[in-house]
């Protein structure tokens, strides 16, 4: 089951990675909060250089706040891509199950960002013949449901056992352009609603510190030329949780 899910996600990543959109999703915040006073923080990076930072804090035993930011700045011969995004949210979390080691989280949030894309055209002799610059700013609202478990299985590496646990999330993001210009000329603004199913795997190195691998899809509910789907998530990162419930073995 896990192997099949992993294969499908990896395939979708490679099929979508060549696409480009004015919307570049960040790594969703999946803090796995379990009790008042717990803090979760994480950093993640994709193969294309998109860096995401996440943080969350449990204000009470069932209410948490979170914040996230991401940035990407890549330059190629024919294309440059720059993206910035920051967002914050709040919501409900609860632990349940026989050992109280399963976690359900529901968050809503708001944010904004910007994307700049530069395209360069060359003739057959490699001489630059033209440049197009696309610039957009946008607002984002989202609803996200996370399900995860602190119940773990063991992965044996280098003669040592590392606990592994899994989680999933579904984020619904509504993204609307505030401004959109091509070569300094205002354009018709676009918006879209994106469905983003997420799966993550965490390998526990200590009671507080874990490595995380994240994959996701990105599907737009509307057909758009610029604010389209096509940027999936495939990242490696690290997560720290301080002050949470200790998982029962």
In tens, the pLDDT along 135-175 reads 999 999 999 999 998 777 777 777 777 888 899 999 999 99
User: Is the per-residue pLDDT at 11 higher than 60?
Assistant: no
**Segment 193-233, tens digit of pLDDT:** 999 999 999 998 888 899 999 998 999 999 999 999 877 78
Q: What's the pLDDT tens digit per position in 45-85?
A: 988 889 999 999 999 999 999 999 999 999 888 999 999 99
222-238 confidence digits (pLDDT tens): 999 999 987 778 899 99
Q: Rounded to whole angstroms, how far apart are CA atoms 236 and 50? A: 11
Taking Cα atoms as reference points, which of 174, 112, 100, 104 lies closest to residue 139?
A: 112
Pairing assessment for the beta strands 51-58 and 219-220 based on DSSP bridges: unpaired
Q: Any idea which residue has 């510190």 for tokens? A: 209
**Range 121-130, long-range pairs (CB < 8 A, 24+ positions):** 121/78, 122/78
Handedness of CA 179, 182, 183, 186 (dihedral sign): negative
The pLDDT score that the predictor gives to residue 18 is 42
3-state secondary structure 155-180: EEECCEEEEEEEEEEEEEEEEEEEEE
- Give how far Cα 101 sits from Cα of 30, 65, 70, 155, 249, Å: 15, 21, 30, 19, 10
- The pTM of the full predicted model, rounded to 2 decimals, is 0.85
Residue 13 pLDDT greater than 70, yes or no: no
Mean pLDDT of all residues belonging to the chain: 88
pLDDT at 62: 96
SS3 14: helix
Cβ contact 38:242 at 8 Å: yes
DSSP string, 194-226: EEEEEEEEEEESSSSEEEEEEEE--EESS--SS
């Amino acid at each position: 089951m896990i192997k099949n899910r992993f294969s499908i996600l990896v395939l979708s990543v490679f099929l979508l990675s060549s696409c480009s959109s004015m919307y570049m999703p960040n790594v969703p915040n999946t803090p796995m909060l379990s009790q008042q006073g717990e803090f979760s923080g994480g950093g993640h990076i994709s193969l294309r250089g998109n860096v995401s930072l996440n943080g969350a804090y449990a204000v009470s035993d069932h209410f948490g706040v979170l914040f996230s930011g991401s940035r990407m700045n890549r330059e190629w011969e024919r294309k440059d891509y720059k993206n910035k995004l920051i967002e914050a949210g709040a919501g409900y979390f609860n632990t349940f199950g026989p050992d109280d080691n399963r976690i359900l989280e529901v968050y809503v949030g708001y944010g904004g960002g910007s994307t700049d894309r530069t395209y360069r055209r060359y003739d057959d002799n490699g001489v630059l013949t033209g440049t197009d610059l696309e610039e957009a700013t946008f607002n984002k609202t989202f609803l996200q449901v996370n399900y995860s478990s602190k119940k773990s299985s063991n992965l044996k590496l280098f003669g040592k056992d590392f606990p592994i646990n899994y989680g999933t999330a579904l984020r619904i993001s509504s993204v609307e352009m505030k401004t959109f210009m091509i070569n300094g000329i205002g354009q018709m603004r676009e918006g879209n609603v994106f469905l983003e199913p997420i799966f993550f795997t965490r390998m526990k190195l200590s009671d507080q510190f874990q490595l995380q691998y994240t994959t996701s899809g990105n599907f737009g509910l509307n057909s758009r030329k610029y604010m389209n789907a096509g940027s999936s998530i495939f990242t490696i990162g690290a997560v720290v949780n301080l002050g949470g419930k200790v998982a029962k073995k």
